[in-house]
Structure 1
Amino acid sequence: MKIIRWAVTVIIPLLIVSGVVAFAFNFLPLYEYGFHRYDVTQTTGLSDSELTKAARGLVSYFNSDEEFINITVQKNGSPFRLFNEREILHLKDVKSLVTLDYNIFIVTMLCGAAVTGFIVFRKRPRLLTAPAFWGGAITLAGLILVTAVAASNFDAFFTRFHQLSFANDFWLLDPSKDYLIMLFPAGFWQDASIFIAGLIGLIAAGLTLFTWRNLKING
């Protein structure tokens, strides 16, 4: 039982973070918010409907078995291939990270369900309270640490993230000609990070508060 309780503590941060990241990558309003917030229509010359089409194409690609993305939009009344070869290769790398996140979410969700089912079957659901509390607390502590580092210099943090996540330099794109950067400028990623951190914090804080109250009630 002690091993199971430790497992719950470890599973919870991974489950919360991977779940929120997966949600963000599939949340179309987040893409559309960025398009409007940073006037991407003006930057790219694409209409709102074509930008939404591009966002849907990206979401579809991340959830497909396709190795390379291929999105064609209408620009100035003519078909236009949105991404060049370098952008396509980078998006392939991004998809690998998204797939890894999906896998972590699925595994932790299944493990969490199995552990919860076992403890409930043993009629000892209160054993989940303390591990859930610490899992939420650890998530909050990690979030505060990462947020503090990112807030001190987001550009440096974002660059370092790319250096650690990718084994190549395909992520170094030109904002004057590469549409991936035009669609998602630096400001968008900062806003998206705040959105993701806010959701993680909200879920972790809610879990921590709820389980803390139960710990107090149960002594």
Structure 2
Amino acid sequence: MKKSFSPSNLTLAVVFMLFFISFSVVLVLNFRPLYYHDIEALGIVESSGISEEDIRTNYDTLISYNSIFGQKELDFPTLAMSESGKIHFEEVKNIFVFVQWLCISTLFAGTAGLFFKFRKKDAGCLKLAGVLTPLVPAVLGGLIALNWENFFVTFHHIFFRNDYWLFNPATDPVITILPDAFFLHCAIAILVLIIFFSLLSFLVSQLLSRHWS
């Protein structure tokens, strides 16, 4: 067990922790079927007064825009957008692009680290990642369970230095197709994935340790 807590294993464990988190975020945010399901489950057509076809088209445009390779300017096909709304979505894209680059860089760094660790038959970094990473969803999950609305508001205060995220449906009707409940579902899915990857990492480390012993 002491071998697992070597500085190199701790460093790699943090790298994999960041990868599990960023990959989970990227995966969920690009998993469009989740939103398509919520269109009906949350009654978005009825609450927004917008057709399902237009809802899907505008949502797809937003998701594509937030990609690393997405268009530079956001232009909703059928929805109006204010200047403050445009600025907010630019800020959101900057965050998402950062998370995507973090995912890619930690993947390469983790893979390179594993290459050298496996040559030494040392899977300690995976064990540590499997043990430490669940602390993140445990803390965030607790905060979400206590008060989702407060968590949601606090999140925006931390990541945004303005109140442009407080949309006016009259000038930014896109907010009517993005209910808070959908973001809650995204948060839950992300936490579940993080836990899954943590367990997978721990199980792989155990299997490798047995194989090498």
Q: Alignment RMSD, CA only? A: 2.2
Task: Provide the rounded CA distance (Å) in 1 between the counterparts of 2:125 and 2:165.
Answer: 39
Task: Provide the rounded CA distance (Å) in 1 between the counterparts of 2:143 and 2:177.
Answer: 26
The residue aligned with 2:8 is 4
Q: CA deviation at 1:61?
A: 0.6
Given residue 76 of structure 2, which amino acid in structure 1 is its aligned partner? I
Q: CA deviation at 1:105?
A: 0.6
Task: Provide the rounded CA distance (Å) in 2 between the counterparts of 1:205 and 1:82.
Answer: 44
**Within-5 A mapping of 1:33-72:** 33-63=37-67, 64=69, 66-72=71-77
Q: CA deviation at 1:48?
A: 1.8
Q: Identify which of 87, 94, 97 aligns with 1:96.
A: 94
Q: CA deviation at 1:215?
A: 4.4
Task: Provide the rounded CA distance (Å) in 1 between the counterparts of 2:81 and 2:202.
Answer: 43
Contact conserved, 1:34 with 1:184, CA < 8 A, in 2?
no
**Any idea what SS the aligned residue of 1:174 has?**
coil
Contact conserved, 1:87 with 1:180, CA < 8 A, in 2?
no
**Any idea what SS the aligned residue of 1:72 has?**
coil
Given residue 60 of structure 1, which amino acid in structure 2 is its aligned partner? S
Q: CA deviation at 1:213?
A: 5.1
1:138 equivalent to 2:132? Answer: yes
**Any idea what SS the aligned residue of 1:162 has?**
helix
Question: Cα deviation per residue 1:121-161 (whole Å; 9 max; x = unaligned)?
Answer: xx32x21x221111121111221111111210111111111
Task: Provide the rounded CA distance (Å) in 1 between the counterparts of 2:111 and 2:72.
Answer: 32
* Normalised TM-score (structure 2): 0.88
Q: CA deviation at 1:180?
A: 2.8
The residue aligned with 1:76 is none
Q: CA deviation at 1:216?
A: 6.2
- CA spacing shift, 1:117–1:209, aligned 2, 3 Å: closer
Task: Provide the rounded CA distance (Å) in 2 between the counterparts of 1:117 and 1:209.
Answer: 18
- CA spacing shift, 1:15–1:185, aligned 2, 3 Å: same
* Normalised TM-score (structure 1): 0.85
**Any idea what SS the aligned residue of 2:199 has?**
helix
Task: Provide the rounded CA distance (Å) in 2 between the counterparts of 1:53 and 1:133.
Answer: 43
Q: Identify which of 189, 192, 202 aligns with 2:196.
A: 202
Contact conserved, 2:29 with 2:186, CA < 8 A, in 1?
no
Task: Provide the rounded CA distance (Å) in 2 between the counterparts of 1:67 and 1:150.
Answer: 33
Q: Identify which of 174, 189, 193 aligns with 2:187.
A: 193
Task: Provide the rounded CA distance (Å) in 2 between the counterparts of 1:72 and 1:175.
Answer: 17
Question: Segments of 4+ in structure 1 off by > 4 A?
Answer: 213-219
Contact conserved, 1:16 with 1:204, CA < 8 A, in 2?
yes
How many residues are aligned here? 208
**Any idea what SS the aligned residue of 2:192 has?**
helix
